[in-house]
């Protein structure tokens, strides 16, 4: 589940006509949340299968390639960026009260189609409402172990610039052993704490590069890389771009 302290930037809202069949979808540079009203289907990602039913809400993070098997249907989709949070796995939810989500998605689509002044702010507000409803319906708040991992992930986001931030240090702060910390973090977030931290740092580096304000050395330091060479290698491995290429293509 996406935690509450996440900045979101909405890109688009679509009523997407989905063709029947089996499709491969390559990695995309945005996340998507969709409401599937009538038909079931299945995603396969990293060897794992994720089935959805009519009335399911599906969240697909950016940078994830997958296969989709589905029937013909019109689905409601919101494309967005998460600016300070990293998901590495598809999430699917089946709410009991579908109608409240239908209303939120349809209202967002109506705002996008009318495209009046303030529409983007209104759509962002509706997306936050969707996540708020999902948190109330499916959130981690009833499980103290989940809360501990959520707090740890928040600590990572607040301390990215610390090159000494490590799994042993994080496990000590969470008051659990390193082995238990790794296991519980993976259970909650679907990835290891090291991969999660690295992905957060690279995501923040991308944001800083896009401003055009900072040197590579400054960005490496702000993102917690003590060595600019290691930062360049890590950035290339994660994004497929070298740092200079990314700045040239994506700077504002």
> How many other CB atoms are there within 10 angstroms of residue 212's CB atom?
11
Q: For position 211, what pLDDT does the model report?
A: 85
Instruction: Provide the CATH number for the domain around residue 132.
Output: 2.60.120.280
pLDDT digit string (tens) for the chain, length 252 residues: 566 667 788 999 999 888 899 999 998 888 999 999 899 999 999 888 999 999 999 999 888 899 999 899 889 999 998 876 677 789 999 999 999 999 999 999 999 999 888 898 999 999 999 999 998 888 654 455 677 888 898 899 889 899 999 999 999 999 999 999 999 988 877 789 998 898 889 988 988 888 888 999 999 999 999 899 999 999 998 888 899 988 888 765
Residues 158 and 95 placed together within one structural domain of the fold = no
Q: For position 136, what pLDDT does the model report?
A: 85
Domain that holds residue 168: 144-250
| Any domain includes 1 | no
Q: Give the span between the Cα atoms of 149 and 186, in whole angstroms.
A: 9
Picking from 138, 166, 190, the residue at the C-terminal end of a domain is: 138
Number of domains in the chain: 2
Residues 180 and 77 placed together within one structural domain of the fold = no
Residues 221 and 129 placed together within one structural domain of the fold = no
Question: Any idea of the CA torsion for 104, 146, 155, 226, to the nearest 10 degrees?
Answer: -110
- In contact, 192 and 232? CB cutoff 8 Å: no
Give how far Cα 134 sits from Cα of 113, 114, 137, Å. Answer: 25, 26, 5
Residues 14 and 95 placed together within one structural domain of the fold = yes
- In contact, 36 and 99? CB cutoff 8 Å: no
What pLDDT digit, counting tens, does each position of 184-210 carry?
A: 988 877 789 998 898 889 988 988 888
What is the token pair recorded at 23? 């499709």
Closest to 60 measured CA to CA, from 80, 84, 39: 80
Half-sphere exposure of 230 (CA within 13 A, CB side): 10
> What letter would DSSP give residue 164?
T
- In contact, 60 and 93? CB cutoff 8 Å: no
- pTM of this structure: 0.67
Q: For position 179, what pLDDT does the model report?
A: 94
Q: Give the span between the Cα atoms of 122 and 25, in whole angstroms.
A: 29
């Amino acid at each position: 589940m996406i935690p509450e302290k996440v900045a979101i930037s909405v890109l688009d809202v679509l009523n997407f006509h989905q063709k029947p069949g089996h499709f491969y979808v390559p990695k995309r540079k945005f996340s998507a949340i969709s409401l599937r009203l009538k038909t079931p289907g299945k995603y396969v990602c990293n060897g794992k299968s994720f089935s959805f039913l009519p009335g399911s809400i599906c969240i697909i993070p950016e940078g994830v390639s997958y296969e989709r098997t589905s029937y013909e249907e019109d689905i409601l989709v919101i494309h967005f960026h998460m600016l300070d949070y990293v998901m590495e796995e598809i999430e699917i939810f089946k709410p009991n009260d579908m109608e409240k989500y239908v209303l939120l998605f349809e209202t967002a689509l109506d705002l996008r189609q009318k495209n009046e002044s303030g529409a983007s702010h209104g759509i962002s507000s509706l997306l936050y409402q969707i996540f708020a409803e999902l948190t109330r319906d499916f959130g981690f708040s009833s499980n103290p172990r989940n809360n501990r991992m959520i707090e740890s992930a928040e600590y990572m986001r607040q301390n990215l610039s610390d090159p000494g931030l490590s799994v042993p240090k994080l496990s000590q702060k969470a008051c659990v052993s390193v082995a238990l910390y790794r296991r519980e973090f993976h259970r909650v977030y679907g990835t290891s704490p090291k991969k999660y931290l690295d992905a957060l740092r690279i995501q923040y580096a991308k944001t800083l590069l896009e401003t055009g304000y900072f040197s590579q050395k400054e960005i490496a330091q702000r993102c917690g890389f003590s060595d600019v060479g290691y930062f360049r290698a890590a950035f290339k491995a994660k994004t497929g771009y070298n740092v200079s290429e990314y700045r040239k293509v994506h700077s504002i």
